[in-house]
Structure 1
Amino acid sequence: MVDKISVTVQVDLDGKYGRIVATGCLTGAGQRALHPLIRRARALTPGTHVVVDIRGAHLMEPAGVDLLRRAVAQDGAVELALPDPLSAHLPTPVDRTPVVADGPAAPGRRARTAA
């Protein structure tokens, strides 16, 4: 899977309201692409209210959401729109327990891989 984020910026005609819509994968690295867009949207006119809408993202890494929350929290005129429930968009944990044909690998015993 390719971890890409797609962004659309919507601004009303008088520049008082901006909406940044992000879809795709929101990763820890990918969320950084939103920061300059947020700054530019805020700089349009004094008092511009910006909403960063990530409800359309199909996958969100917890680190990406946390870093974006922190960045948005630094500016009171920026709002973060999250999906409800957020847990439906987070990756499912992967069980990385090595397994052998007759059960989990015992200490000192190597796991066999399927051919």
Structure 2
Amino acid sequence: MHHKLTVLVQVDLDGRHVRLVVTGCLTEVNHRALSPLVRRARTLVPGIAVVVDATAALHVEASAVDMMRWSTEHEDAVPDTPPVEFVLPEELPAHDVVTRLAAWTGPRRHAERTGPAAQAALARRRAPARSRLAG
């Protein structure tokens, strides 16, 4: 399964707040891509408040959040910079791709229709296309 991480950086006009909105999947493997963004946001202006918002993420691993917290606590930040705030949903979301696909009904397929006309139309679609060069 592909775990893609997407981050939107929102900087307030006054330059006192930065919000990193995380969407996609935040996993133990890809959390390393988020760390430099947090570090960079903390060095923009002394005293800047950085918020990592993962409420819109599709999948969040608890171990990834723990690693992110640990790395932000142990890195050298600009003096007088407040700690990074993490905004998480009450329950960390997990992948539920199978249930989403099973719940999707989508448009009805022609094969589901019954009757001789529907069967003939389906057979015509499956027939190989004739070449214009073959007389």
What is the TM-score when the length of structure 1 is the normalising length? Answer: 0.69
* Alignment match, 2:85: 79
What is the deviation of 1:34? 0.9
What is the TM-score when the length of structure 2 is the normalising length? Answer: 0.60
What is the deviation of 1:2? 1.1
Output the amino acid matched with 1:72.
T
Classify 1:37/1:77 alpha carbon distance in 2 versus 1 (closer, same or farther; 3 Å): same
Give the aligned length.
90
Is residue 22 of structure 2 the alignment partner of residue 14 of structure 1?
A: no
Please, which runs of 5 or more residues in structure 2 have no aligned partner?
A: 97-135
Classify 1:55/1:73 alpha carbon distance in 2 versus 1 (closer, same or farther; 3 Å): farther
Please, which runs of 5 or more residues in structure 1 have no aligned partner?
A: 93-115
Is residue 39 of structure 2 the alignment partner of residue 33 of structure 1?
A: no
Displaced runs of 4+ in structure 1, greater than 2 A? 71-77
What is the deviation of 1:7? 0.5
Q: Distance in 1 between matches of 2:30 and 2:86?
A: 16
Q: Distance in 1 between matches of 2:14 and 2:31?
A: 27
Between 1:56-65 and 1:68-77, the stretch displaced more is 68-77
- State the superposition RMSD in angstroms: 1.9
Say which SS state the counterpart of residue 70 (structure 1) adopts.
Answer: helix
What is the deviation of 1:61? 2.0
Work out which of the two has the higher radius of gyration on C-alpha atoms and give 1 or 2: 2
